[in-house]
A and B are shown apart, each in its own frame.
Chain A
């Protein structure tokens, strides 16, 4: 005890760390399960860093050709790159190597999945609104970087699967008008696959991309602390306070324990379930493509877009081939990603709302946003499912053409259906909330009145429960107003139109007066 005190004092006198510890230790974090999804992403990233460091000790990213002499019989004597050979050695010769490879890969899949779910939580609760728009953009960049890291990692073992993935990227690059061929040669250093790509991807995978990722995670965390965490509405929880547990000791203990749970779950999965058995695929050879060749799940939406676009969309202009069947998916996906990145600014412009928001909305209380989100999810899901169209066909005994056409429908028409259905469901739920807040809930108790009439007794909610149902903000469509010179600009009209689209259908929250008049 005396030593701890002495050591703490020694450090504090030299760093003034106590100020930071004091303010951080008293930082309050609200408690809700959905607020822990970002933590899952963060902790799986730590696992990725640890296992990845182990792998770098044994992986050699050279494309020099060697003959395999390891212990996996069906590859003995087969010529392959040093990169693939060292990946096989990690799997078969290095003690604990296969477990580490599987931990690394499973953690990567979990990392991107947790980011995705975290983003959905932030989107559907409106937690991206002022002052958190910039943090949303940083989070979006983290998502893109995570995909890039995943893809470069997927390509490193230089087996058949990773080579096929690179071939698709090469095809997409070559479809870029005019410059495509040049970019491809620049990237691969030669006609595909060349001898440079694996070392180059290795540098990106273990140096450049992780460095940017770590820096952005730092910025993400700092902004989280500066902006404070959002919380759901509840008694005592307002836009101006944060109700929850302080970092020291409760939150830190919970978070620390949760880190080990995440770590444990990943190691458990990695020790029980094979991931990417590279020895099955053999060394990369540009001629064969195996059935069931898919990217990891997070690149699936791009693969699906290429599968869904109708074939033969090509034209020759001035002697150049324009591959619309690659360019349309490429541009479509970039527009989709850009829309996701810029959505907070779009919504802020449409609502004209410049206030700070620290209360997380229930998804139903903003029907149009929730419906837009549902449409986006449906679009993404259609593309994503299309990446496994062949497996859907074989496992559900369908024809692959039928699966493709059905998914084309899901991707193109599905978002509109999802939009309208979700919006109606949200409005209906709000109506139900209003009904319950005003008249209470059905107790199931049937009473016979003296006159012979039967009524069901409605019971009132307590104040805590009712709070959740009545405390939300109501927006109204913006009016078109002339500016200083008495004119109404086109952007004003567009804005008013979008605002009407957003807020025309709405259910007003129950007012105090309504509640009081209902009491008696």
Chain B
């Protein structure tokens, strides 16, 4: 557990804070982004937070306040009332609104039970509540913000995305995004059906055991290319027939033994059966 806390902390502290002031995705997210933007540009930290938020609109102030209350009620028992972390959970200072959007928006947080890693489950909050918590977490310290829609559209170059995916992602998530095993019961999940904003969020914030792919490592355009490739794989029907889980030679081998050879053995028994 302590290992996980530390990884999460280092990852979030090393990730830079991409700040964008355009491309709003939600009326309330607008305010959250504004807060983040002001924080980053002003270089404001914990003490400066109050003065910075004081300049923002009443709506965003309200949102941060709501987020704080939601955080205190649902997250603070592990992450601490000030988000500084406890023995049970890592600090969320500086993880950014995007990390909240990924973790809470995929149902991974609040965590259902202690385990090798937080698992996806039905989402527990509305998008407004998630944005509010994101705004509050972003008000603690600057961190990655929810990206504008143009980086989530999936209209980039699928070939570049596929190559980047093979180089950066496939060793854990499998070339077809079918997922794969990690050490000690942890795993890289399958990527079919994942919302583009969560794909982007995972790359930017490095949840669980995933490394952070910062904007210096993979630019937002390249992240969009990867999203484009995943979208292509998901939306293009398989040309060769059923994919057997896209798991590679293992499922093919099992299939030929059980159904191919098994079926033919049944035929041999039928051919040599004596009529009654």
Contacts and interface: CB of A to CB of B under 8 A. Distances in A.
Interface of A: 31-37, 40, 73-78, 91-92, 98, 102, 106, 109-110, 113-114, 117, 160-161, 254, 257-258, 261-262, 265-266, 269, 271-277, 280-282, 285, 287-297, 300, 387-391, 393-394, 397-402
Given A294-B250, A394-B180, A277 B261 contact: no
B122 interface: no
Nearest to B116: A399
Given A110-B264, A281-B175, 9 more contacts: A74-B229, A98-B240, A262-B264, A266-B260, A273-B244, A275-B240, A277-B240, A289-B170, A292-B250
Contacts of A74: 158-159, 161-162, 229, 232-233
Given A76-B159, A265-B263, A297-B256, A291 B183 contact: no
Contacts of B242: 272-274
A190 to B, nearest CB: 23
A102 B240 contact: yes
Contacts of A161: 248-249
Nearest to A299: B249
A109 B272 contact: no
B47 interface: no
B159 to A, nearest CB: 5
B253 interface: yes
Interface of B: 116, 158-159, 161-163, 166-167, 170-176, 178-185, 187-188, 229, 232-233, 238-244, 246-250, 252-257, 259-261, 263-265, 267-269, 271-272
Given A161-B248, A276-B252, A291 B185 contact: no
A65 B215 CA distance: 31
A109 B263 contact: no
A265 B268 CA distance: 13
B256 A291 contact: no
A75 B159 contact: yes
Given A33-B268, A76-B159, A272-B241, A288 B170 contact: yes
Contact of B264 (A35, A40, A289, A292): A40
A461 B35 CA distance: 91
Q: Which of A37, A77, A291, A297 has the most CB of B within 10 A?
A: A291
Contacts of B185: 393, 397-400, 402
Contacts of B179: 291, 394
Contact of B167 (A113, A266, A288, A292): A288
A285 B167 contact: yes
Given A91-B239, A261-B267, A292-B247, A113 B261 contact: yes
Given A273-B241, A290-B175, A265 B163 contact: no
A276 B249 contact: yes
A34 B269 CA distance: 8
A273 B252 CA distance: 9
B241 A92 contact: no
A160 B241 contact: no
A296 B188 contact: no
A113 B240 contact: no
B256 A31 contact: no
26 contacts: A33-B269, A36-B268, A37-B268, A74-B162, A77-B159, A109-B252, A110-B256, A113-B257, A114-B261, A269-B259, A272-B242, A273-B242, A280-B176, A280-B246, A288-B167, A290-B166, A290-B170, A290-B175, A291-B171, A291-B179, A292-B180, A294-B250, A296-B253, A394-B179, A400-B181, A401-B183
Contacts of B269: 33
A352 to B, nearest CB: 35
A109 B264 CA distance: 14
A98 B256 CA distance: 18
A394 B173 CA distance: 12
B267 A390 contact: no
Contacts of B187: 393-394
A109 B158 CA distance: 32
Contacts of B256: 106, 109-110, 113, 269, 297
Contacts of A102: 240-241
A119 to B, nearest CB: 13
A33 B261 CA distance: 13
Contacts of A294: 248-250
B260 A265 contact: yes
A277 B252 contact: no
A291 B240 contact: no
Contacts of A77: 159
A393 B242 CA distance: 23
Nearest to A165: B249
Give 10 closest A-B pairs by Cβ, nearest first.
A291-B180, A297-B253, A274-B240, A399-B185, A390-B181, A74-B162, A36-B268, A33-B268, A109-B256, A290-B170
Contact of A297 (B247, B252, B267, B272): B252
Contact of A275 (B183, B233, B252, B264): B252
Contacts of A160: 166, 175
A381 B263 CA distance: 21
Contacts of A285: 166-167
Nearest to A282: B166
A75 B167 contact: no
A402 B116 CA distance: 14
B271 A387 contact: no
Contacts of A391: 181, 247, 250
B175 A280 contact: yes
A269 B251 CA distance: 13
Given A390-B180, A394-B187, A274 B248 contact: no
A291 B249 contact: no
B226 to A, nearest CB: 11
A294 B263 CA distance: 25
B44 to A, nearest CB: 41
